[in-house]
Chain A
Amino acid sequence: MESDDWFFESIKRYKNLSMYDLLQYVTAMDWVSGESLCVGTSNGQKHEILELTLPDKMLADEKEAKLKKNNDFQVNTGGFPEKQIVDLKHLPDTRFCITAPKDSTSITLWEMGTTDTDLIQKHNTVTSVVSNNLCTYIDVCNDQTNKYIVFGSTLDNVTILDANNMKPIGDTSKSKDGDNISSLYLKSSNDVYICTNVGDIYHIDTRTSFHPVICHQHQICNKNTHWTMDHLNNQSNCLLQVSSDFDACYYDIRSSKTYLKQLDLYDDHVSRTNNSSLHVKSSADGTKFSINGLDGMVYIYNTLSLTLEDKILEPVFIHKGHVMNSETQTGSLYITSHLWHPWQQDLIISAASDCSLHAWQYNL
């Protein structure tokens, strides 16, 4: 049987592979530290926010791992948001995280438990000046002296907050552009990069004004094409974009140079792009990038190949685990989110719409 074949082959193809079933599917996640992550989950009617501690075995080196007994995630703290979480970011070096709910342009600050309780509790909520019912995205940055938060759903409702007091230091409400946003990158308290749904990249320099200025524009071939963006780790001046039409774009902020490639996917790929789940992520060392949201698999590519001659990028690895182990119809399953571990080499956490959660380290 195909799934048995995949299972046996996985012994060689993965250094480590762990699969879990949650009660609800993950809608957003972020690292709290190298040992734990925060996830937003939902079953459509009820929603949760959980802080999960990684199993010891996953982070131990090969020598230590053999005597480690623990292969399970632990729910360290948990809470009950009223609405489904569409984006989630942990505020670095704190026990707080920020979430954006569905159909709302507000964000909520949560405290992840105290010594007396394991409940994740609301601390406060901030609403943008311009409200609408679109998906709101968040980013955070830890400047040398302070922490900042940026959130927004359209070009005219991006707000930057001082994380110490959750007070706004500026917003784009005076902008005339109201294009939908798909991702935000808070490079520093002075620089915000915004990717719109159609793939345009805007920059806000907060030292001059809070007006978004376009720095890169894609030619619109298909008006339904959806783009998303992330920055390359280890190279904060480089942005990565991916589209629902399987295009990948590498954009150098300093030189404004772009490289556009076509992504090759799995042969029997069944396209079921869920725009809100389309994510591109960079590995911790920036040498790899990965995509989810196109179907039930996670695709990994070499970053370097973006700047080379080849027009089509072949994936160096495809994680088919969710599809091979799911009871859901293959065509309807999609990956909702994935993350690279901040320091454990090649360790990825991925989550799918059938409530599965995988932690895997691939072998090349």
Chain B
Amino acid sequence: MLVEAVYWQRLVERTLCWIAVCIWDLMMIHFHLDHCGALPYMSEMVGYDGPIYMTHPTKAICPILLEDFRKITVDKKGETNFFTSEMIKTCMKKVKAVNLHEVIQVDDELEIKAYYAGHVLGAAMFHVKVGQQSLVYTGDYNMTPDRHLGAAWIDKCRPDLLITESTYATTIRESKRCRERDFLKKVHDCVEKGGKVLIPVFALGRAQELCILLESYWERMNLNIPIYFSLGLTEKANHYYKLFISWTSQKIKNTFVQRNMFEFTHIKPFDRSYIENPGPMVVFATPGMLHAGLSLQVFKKWAPFEQNMVIMPGYCVAGTVGHKILNGAKRLELENKQTLDVRLSVQYMSFSAHADAKGIMQLISWCEPKNVMLVHGEAAKMDFLKNKIQQEFGIDCYKPANGETVTIQTLHNIPIDISLNLLKRAASFAGLKSPDPLKMRVLQGALVMRGNKLQLMDADQALKDVGLKEHNLRFTSTLYVEEDGASEKLAEKIYTLVKDKIKDHPTQYSTDGSISVSDVMITVSGDDEETKSVLVTWSHQDEELGSELMEILKNELPVTME
């Protein structure tokens, strides 16, 4: 659900004034107005003065859309208390552009990294890491490649938390091919009846894609109805594509290398004089919201005729002609107080791609988060997805309400060095030539801290390094057993008992009558007619075994309290 940037600005005004100081840095997901529309307001009017990060294409495109937005809102809607052109420029000077997969150290703890999100040119998902903890915020992304943009991609970064919108999570998106088919059908049906089709476009992305599509179809169907594009489109598009070729799909990269982007057989540059030409035609013209320029000029001429058509390919800001006609307006008041009857067919065609149910599951499987958080949805509509994620991936999934705090436990790994000798010795015990990092093993050693560095090393070496002597702790306990006969007889009984009960430690009976279970010693003393003393002694390392033996002896022998 798109939120008008003006509304959002008011929301920002109410909330950000007191939280601006708490925001450490700002990452701009992409250039759509629902994401960047209040940026100059926040930086120039509210007072946010932290760093602002965005990808290079977003930095290039944002100011254009912000200026358009400002013009429409101030000039057409008469809004006051709005950011100025100067503020947009000042704001953009503060922006730091980032490359994909580049690790940006914001401060000594916080680092961020942008990943390709598809969706629109320059869109990114951000990976944010503070110390050991990390999260990924997706924004809008698309998992299916289209003709001019690749699909989103992320590596197995295993964040503690993945935050993704659930708005489209329950959507099963129509295939791109069908949307294209729909577009071709509309255009063909109109021109077949002698009508003219106007397609207002932004300079980037979709125009190129639709031109390629229409060219293929015209070729296949052997049509000779003229198709035009406005020159302004090509200049801007070519300029931006040269700058941002790495952001486009492989197909576009190949096309760009092979030929000029706008060299088509059936599509020619448009001249204003063609507006009055009789007969069917198709025209791509800027700007996309019909708020000014060539597209508006063409629209004014063609609108009164029923056989014509306008195909609006995206979102239009309130106040624009595009917005009005998409809401069904049949009569428009123009600037010179003249009215315009809108009789042509108005069609809506969205090519903007978002991830759907399938895409979200795929993203989770790629980045392997430890937890997922769903935002931007209704609580009662997120149980199924939450359960699906939990069942499929075995991870917790949260769907907090607005204002609700979620506490997520994260595992904090402490990285330590390990001495090579200790590592080699441990590997040799396991029968390995060299240590295998994939096999978990328990190592025993001394953890030594020097400054901020931690190292696990052999206990003897650690003692030597610090000049300490090792102390041995030994425990001794005596049990008194009521048993007649020679002490050797009791010793034999104890030996048999222990050998039977303790299977994973070697038990030996020495010639001097003592019993050893690994390093635990048991000796029996006492005269034939007297209570026998059973002495059990063990070092602190054998505490577990020593205690176990004591329990066995207490349970199995007639022990007295004496």
Contact = CB atoms under 8 A, between A and B. Distances in A.
B185 interface: yes
A259 interface: no
A77 B170 CA distance: 9
Interface in B183-198: 184-186, 188
A11 B172 contact: no
B25 interface: no
B174 A19 contact: yes
A21 B185 CA distance: 22
A119 B383 CA distance: 6
A71 B174 contact: yes
A52 B177 CA distance: 21
Interface stretch (A2-10, A267-275, A281-289, A331-339): A2-10
A223 interface: no
Nearest to A3: B177
Contacts of A75: 170-172, 357, 384
B382 interface: yes
A73 B357 CA distance: 11
A152 interface: no
A332 B392 CA distance: 27
Q: What band does the interface of chain B fall in when counting residues whose beta carbon is under 8 Å from A? A: 35 or more
B348 A66 contact: yes
B384 A72 contact: no
Contacts of B184: 8, 11
Interface in A80-94: 80
Interface string B307-349: 0000000000000000000101000000000000000011110
A66 B186 CA distance: 9
A23 interface: yes
Nearest to A115: B380
A17 B345 contact: no
Contacts of B350: 69
Interface in B124-164: none
A18 interface: yes
B361 interface: yes
Contacts of A71: 174, 178-179, 182
A46 B388 CA distance: 11
B290 to A, nearest CB: 15
A9 B381 CA distance: 39
A31 B245 CA distance: 47
Nearest to A355: B358
Interface string B206-250: 000000000011001100000000000000000000000000000
B151 to A, nearest CB: 14
Contacts of B380: 115-118
Contacts of A120: 384
A19 B175 contact: yes
A217 B402 CA distance: 65
A117 B178 contact: no
A357 interface: yes
Contacts of B173: 20, 72
Contacts of B391: 46, 80
B356 interface: yes
A122 to B, nearest CB: 14
Contact of A79 (B171, B221, B384): B384
Contacts of A76: 170
Contact of A78 (B346, B348, B384): B384
A55 B347 CA distance: 16
A362 to B, nearest CB: 14
B174 A55 contact: yes
A11 B218 CA distance: 13
B181 interface: yes
Contacts of A77: 384
A133 interface: no
B170 A74 contact: yes
A118 B177 contact: no
Interface in A26-74: 46, 48, 52, 55, 66-69, 71-74
A76 B357 CA distance: 12
Contacts of A345: none
A123 to B, nearest CB: 17
Contacts of A124: none
Contacts of B221: 8
A149 B387 CA distance: 30
Given A4-B220, A72-B172, A23 B181 contact: no
Contacts of A4: 216, 220
A150 to B, nearest CB: 30
B188 A20 contact: no
A325 interface: yes
A78 B381 CA distance: 10
B328 A67 contact: yes
A213 interface: no
B383 A8 contact: no
Contacts of A7: 177, 181
Interface in B376-426: 380-384, 387-388, 391-392
A52 B172 CA distance: 9
A11 B185 contact: yes
Given A8-B220, A11-B188, A117-B383, A23 B348 contact: no
A10 B175 contact: no
Given A67-B326, A71-B178, A119 B358 contact: no
A169 interface: no
A23 B361 contact: yes
20 contacts: A5-B220, A8-B184, A8-B221, A10-B181, A11-B184, A11-B188, A19-B175, A46-B392, A66-B346, A67-B347, A72-B172, A73-B172, A74-B170, A74-B172, A75-B357, A76-B170, A79-B384, A117-B383, A118-B380, A119-B384
Given A20-B172, A46-B391, A48-B388, 6 more contacts: A11-B184, A19-B178, A23-B358, A66-B347, A67-B346, A75-B171
Interface of A: 4-5, 7-8, 10-11, 17-23, 46, 48, 52, 55, 66-69, 71-80, 115-120, 325, 357
Interface of B: 170-175, 177-179, 181-182, 184-186, 188, 216-217, 220-221, 326, 328, 345-348, 350, 356-358, 361, 380-384, 387-388, 391-392
**Nearest 10 pairs of A and B residues by beta carbon:** A78-B384, A73-B172, A75-B170, A71-B174, A19-B175, A117-B383, A66-B347, A119-B383, A11-B185, A72-B171
